[in-house]
Amino acid sequence: MTAPIDRCAIYAFLEEILNENDDYEDSDIAPIIPALISKRPSVPKVEGFTELVINLNEEDFRYHCRLNKETFMLLLGEVEAYLVPDVNYVGGGYDSVPPKKQLLVFVWYLSNQCSMRNIAFNFKLSKSSVHSIVHHVAGVISALSYKFIQWPNNQRRREIKGKFTKIPGVIGVIDGTHIRITNPVGNDRSYLNRKKFCSVVLQVVVDDMLMINDVFVGFSRVST
């Protein structure tokens, strides 16, 4: 079995050659160049997983992705322009991943308790690409949220009041929940909730049709 290449030793050797020693010939350096430019061993990936998910029937797609195909396509229509790969990009990162696959990776991450390593394996991506995709798509959706999450106007408030007949003047229902987080270093007690795990608080206001009208997230337990 071939011994593993110590890349750190190789770089140190080159630095010594370039900076301190003039006694080496090009022929001394040439044999180690392939080791520097060689790629890491490829990691096996699942073939065709993206197409498999896209072609699931409606019931199975909703089960795995927590939304139906129509909603997925509507969301894709909103974010696609912000996820289009750069035509000048020649690398292999997330910038070369089609918008539909980026959104599917993001939805799959939110909908299933999978590690990024597992998602990378299924979607034939690197773990760093999955990380970049999740953060990028989340940022795009957050930036566009104002188009859908809006406080009701006067007319809509009157309509909502008419639906809550048992309690006059109600224009929405408010509640909160805890989003589990990794224990913050040095300040974990500020985030420790009554259920004995660290979290930030999510607050949501919905109307009579359970449409979200306001969202706030970020405060720790001591701020509530």
In the chain, how long is the greatest CA-to-CA distance?
A: 92
Note the pLDDT of residue 14. 59
Q: By the 8 A CB rule, do 42 and 62 touch?
A: no
Amino acid type, 22: D
Note the pLDDT of residue 32. 59
Q: Is 212 helix (H, G, I), strand (E, B) or coil?
A: strand
CA distance 124 to 103: 15
The pTM (predicted TM-score) of the whole model is 0.74
Per-residue pLDDT of the chain (224 residues; tens, 9 = 90+): 455 555 566 656 656 665 655 555 555 555 655 655 555 566 667 889 999 999 999 999 999 999 999 999 999 999 999 999 876 655 556 678 999 999 999 999 999 989 999 999 999 999 999 999 999 999 999 999 999 999 999 999 999 999 998 999 999 999 999 999 888 887 778 898 888 899 999 999 999 999 999 999 977 655 54
* Closest to 127 in 3D by CA, of 135, 119, 138, 137: 119
Domain residue extents for the chain = 7-37, 49-146, 149-223
Note the pLDDT of residue 185. 80
Note the pLDDT of residue 51. 95
**Mind spelling out the 3-state secondary structure of the chain?**
CCCCCCHHHHHHHHHHHHHCCCCCCHHHHHHHHHHHHCCCCCCCCCCCHHHHHHCCCHHHHHHHHCCCHHHHHHHHHHHHHHHCCCCCCCCCCHHHCCHHHHHHHHHHHHHCCCCHHHHHHHHCCCHHHHHHHHHHHHHHHHHHHHHCCCCCCHHHHHHHHHHCCCCCCCCCEEEEEEEECCCCCCCHHHHECCCCCEEEEEEEEECCCCCEEEEEEEEEHHHC
